[in-house]
Amino acid sequence: MKPCTLGKPVAATLVAGRNLTQQNIVPSLPVPPLKQTCELYLSFLEPIVEAEELKQTEILVEEFLKAGGVGERLQRGLERKASNTENWLTDDYVKFEYLDRRKPVVVYSNHGMVLPHMNFRNKQEQISDTLPVEYMGGKPLCMKQYDRVLSSCRIPGPKTDTLVFHAKTSNAPKHISVVHNCQFFVLDVYNSDGTLLTVDQLYVQLERICKASPQTTTEPVGILTTQNRDVWSRTYSSLIQDETNKESLSAIERSIFTVCLDRATPQEPDEMRSSAILQILHGGGSQCNSGNRWFDKGLQFVIGEDGTCGANGSHSAADGTYNKLLTIIIITSTLQTNSKYVLTIVHFNLPVHTYRHRDMLINFSLLHRMARDLNLRVTVFEHFGKNYLKAHKMSPDAFVQMALQLAYYRMYQQCCSTFEPASLRMFKLGRVAGIHSTSKASATFVKAFDDPNIKAVNGQAIEGHLLGLRMQTGEENISMPELFTDSSFTKAFNYQISTSQVISKSSSLPCVGPETPDIYDVCYSVLSDRISLIVSRFEPPNTCKVKNAECLIEAMVDALSLPTIYS
């Protein structure tokens, strides 16, 4: 296997700490002006709420903005917090968006990516902080999230979860966890002299693991990580009462990442891409490979007998962008092929008597229903791509967003709240902010997406600010203002379409599932001559699986006139 550099070339010389050389000049996230956020909020509401609701919200905003009132007090609290922390939003964002959510992480939170057949650069660059600094618009981006992907795990808890990170500890892990036929193994990937295992050594060890687990276990404990988080928390607490279980779980949680060696699954020829994505996203259900996972891990690699290859990552640990980049550069390059070390693997099972078999059967049923009802379709729009749109002075991203809203309107005869994430990596520890692409006028919408100084990217997004203000009520011991319990607030941030543009030159297919049963999730990539889309939604089994994708394609074809209108 030869090393393969993907994307921008990386210098061969590794310089420790290189990816943090610009970290001290990355600014902290600013707190937007209170009045600006409130005005943008009202503007955002106008096309998606009824006139009477908007009028009521305007009254609440006016009350919230009164001099010396609750809004000013919360704003001052946020500004104090911002002056004493690197990022006033990230901890609240991760807690609210991920750790406090009680739905299963599989599909609802974790993201997946199907990979083309490729080679990989080595992981040592990330371990030694030697990845090159990334820039946007000539400004360095925060690189700290790379520390949170490897050797990370989400731990279930009552009411809220926690995250653990082991990569930078004094006793940093030197092993990966491997699961085959729902049985877990620990595999050391470093030799005693600190060098990584060679490709040949890894192959031998993985082959030994497969031979040691020829049959699927009747108690696939990995499936426990697909449970509702409160249910999983109770099961987890019961498991760790046993010392063997505690050590086994710790080995999985501390491992650099998990490798899932899957058995082949039945596939229809015309559904191979969709089937591959579903395998990465949820494992195909309780009858397939869903028990061959540990969905709490920060990063899992999935390799199937049928050629399916991809990665599943935890959104709570790091944004999907980081997992995608690390997936491209991670495993190993060919070092020395002559092995002079004795290598060992450790096989462990969690005693089944520590959780009830009935609970496992219930979870099988729930997971089967989730996998059955997730309607996912891969669509490639081949009429044109980025080159054509840019030639007509249109933002490719704006074009797709408008087509999505047009398709939704045609299906439901109403406008909807639409979300697209914007990276906040221009700021220390920044995660994402929301671009609210539903607007009063399409022209304004296009200009907003073409504007390089778009407010969300520059830390002026309304959703994060409003979340911070709402969370600050607890710090200030203030009763929840009516602004945050208003029906308009619920409508504004209960999105009907959640989107994510994936910038990629490869044929990888990233995907996340819908966060709630009533929304569409759309991942798309605008390439030079085509647009790839993955549309997913929870729908009953008798729903026509092609309807939504066909509506979207039709809307994009009809939107062909837009380049003429705006040229």
353 is catalytic: no
Question: Above pLDDT 90, what percent of the chain?
Answer: 36
H or E stretch including 87?
none
- Total domain count for the chain? 2
Calculate Rg over the CA atoms of the chain. 24
Which residue would you say has higher pLDDT here, 139 or 95? 95
Shared domain check, 315 and 261:
yes
Residue 17 in domain: no
Find the helix packing angle between 70-84 and 462-476, rounded to 10°.
100
How far is CA 391 from each of CA 398, 527, 528, rounded to the nearest angstrom? 14, 14, 11
Shared domain check, 454 and 356:
no
Shared domain check, 177 and 41:
no
322: exposed, middle or buried (C-beta count within 10 Å: 0-12, 13-18, 19+)? buried
pLDDT digits (tens, 9 = 90+) for 410-439: 788 777 888 888 788 888 887 888 777 665
Shared domain check, 391 and 367:
no
Shared domain check, 304 and 207:
yes
Question: What is the reported pLDDT for 76?
Answer: 97
**Poorest-pLDDT segment among 285-289, 379-383, 463-467:** 379-383
Residue 204 in domain: yes
Shared domain check, 383 and 301:
no
Question: Would you place residue 6 in the very low, low, confident or very high pLDDT band (cuts 50, 70, 90)?
Answer: very low
For residue 219, what is the domain's CATH number? 3.30.559.70
Q: Pick from 323, 346, 373: which residue ends a domain?
A: 373
Domain interval for residue 197? 103-373
Annotated catalytic residue, options 111, 166, 282, 315 = 315
The whole-model pTM stands at 0.82
Shared domain check, 472 and 331:
no
Question: What is the average pLDDT across 458-486?
Answer: 91
Shared domain check, 412 and 343:
no
Question: Would you place residue 349 in the very low, low, confident or very high pLDDT band (cuts 50, 70, 90)?
Answer: low
Highest mean pLDDT among 267-276, 442-451, 487-496: 487-496
pLDDT digits (tens, 9 = 90+) for 360-408: 777 788 888 898 889 888 888 888 889 998 998 888 888 888 888 888 8
Highest mean pLDDT among 258-262, 393-397, 512-516, 550-554: 258-262
Q: Pick from 332, 349, 373: which residue ends a domain?
A: 373
Find the helix packing angle between 243-254 and 229-239, rounded to 10°.
120
pLDDT digits (tens, 9 = 90+) for 297-338: 999 999 998 888 889 999 888 776 655 555 554 443 333 334
Shared domain check, 410 and 426:
yes
- Side-by-side strand order, sheet with 183-188: 345-348, 183-188, 175-180, 258-262, 299-304, 309-313, 111-114, 509-512
pLDDT digits (tens, 9 = 90+) for 153-202: 999 999 999 999 998 888 899 999 999 999 999 999 988 888 888 888 88
For residue 544, what is the domain's CATH number? 3.30.559.10
Beta carbons of 555 and 520 less than 8 angstroms apart: no
Shared domain check, 459 and 311:
no
Question: What is the average pLDDT across 218-234?
Answer: 91
What is the spatial distance between Cα 55 and Cα 321, in angstroms, rounded to a whole number? 40
Quick one: which of 510, 511, 505, 513 has its CA closest to 530? 505
Shared domain check, 151 and 56:
no
Beta carbons of 311 and 280 less than 8 angstroms apart: yes
Q: Pick from 348, 373, 398: which residue ends a domain?
A: 373
Contacts 24+ apart (CB under 8 A), 388-395: 388/563, 389/526, 389/563, 391/563, 392/563, 392/564, 392/566, 392/567, 393/563, 393/566, 393/567, 394/446, 394/562, 394/563, 394/566, 395/446, 395/449, 395/450
Residue 427 in domain: yes
Question: What is the average pLDDT across 511-532?
Answer: 88
Residue 11 in domain: no
Question: What is the reported pLDDT for 547?
Answer: 62
Residue 15 in domain: no
pLDDT at 125 exceeding the cut of 60: no
Question: What is the reported pLDDT for 539?
Answer: 80
Question: What is the reported pLDDT for 567?
Answer: 46
Average pLDDT along the chain? 80
Question: What is the reported pLDDT for 560?
Answer: 58
Question: What is the reported pLDDT for 140?
Answer: 83
- 332-354 b/e (C-beta count within 10 Å ≥ 16 → b): bbeeeeeeeeeeeeeebebeeee
Residue 491 in domain: yes
pLDDT digits (tens, 9 = 90+) for 55-89: 999 999 999 999 999 999 999 999 999 999 999 99
Which residue would you say has higher pLDDT here, 218 or 408? 408
Residue 502 in domain: yes
Which tokens go with 220? 């696939």
